[in-house]
Amino acid sequence: MFMLERERIDSSLKKVKGQTANFLTLINLSLGVLALLFIISGHLKISFILIFLAGLIDRFDGMVARMLNIESEFGKQLDSLCDLISFGIAPAFLIYQVVLYQFGVPGLIFTMIFIVCGAIRLARFNITEFTGSFVGLPITVAGCLMAAGYLTVHFVPGFLYMFLIFGLSILMISNISVEKR
């Protein structure tokens, strides 16, 4: 009787352990979605903070998966989908809402370019074998740099954000090698 109960508990713990990294990934997604909702409601400072918190959580999900030896194809795909929201869409919308809206259609186009290049970057990552270096600037880095632009909006001419977006977009889809740390 006790052996059956112990096996059931061990099985449950194994299932929980197996989903730990995915749970962190879903927290990343939740923070990205919250950032978008705060952008929509005009609370830009809070959305900026949420994007950086998502970056912090994103740093740990892969680390936890490797540490617990629970890496999976599902987790990799889930992480990419969540990263597109938290580090592609949310930072692009933040900068659009803060400064790029004033440029009309060009502001919209540059916002879309960043999101599209982020999606391409993530798709390419998902179909290539990881060798210890990323090909192209990781979307997490690009998204956090984009969101950091929020801090400089009162000091930098608005049109320069289009160059920032374009530069980060090109770096994400480039063939530069960025060593994982």
Spatial CB neighbours of 15, under 8 Å, sequence gap ≥ 6: none
For position 7, what pLDDT does the model report? 54
For position 121, what pLDDT does the model report? 96
Q: Domains for the chain: give ranges and CATH numbers.
A: 2-179 (1.20.120.1760)
- Tokens coding 116: 């599209």
Alpha helices in 41-175 (DSSP H): 44-67, 73-83, 90-98, 105-127, 139-148, 160-173
For position 134, what pLDDT does the model report? 82
Question: Running along the chain, 181 residues long, what does each successive block of 10 average in pLDDT?
Answer: 54 61 93 98 98 94 82 88 97 98 97 98 89 87 97 95 97 88 68
pTM metric for this prediction: 0.88
SS3 content of the chain, % helix, strand, coil (to 5): 80, 5, 15
C-alpha 177/C-alpha 181 separation (Å) is 12
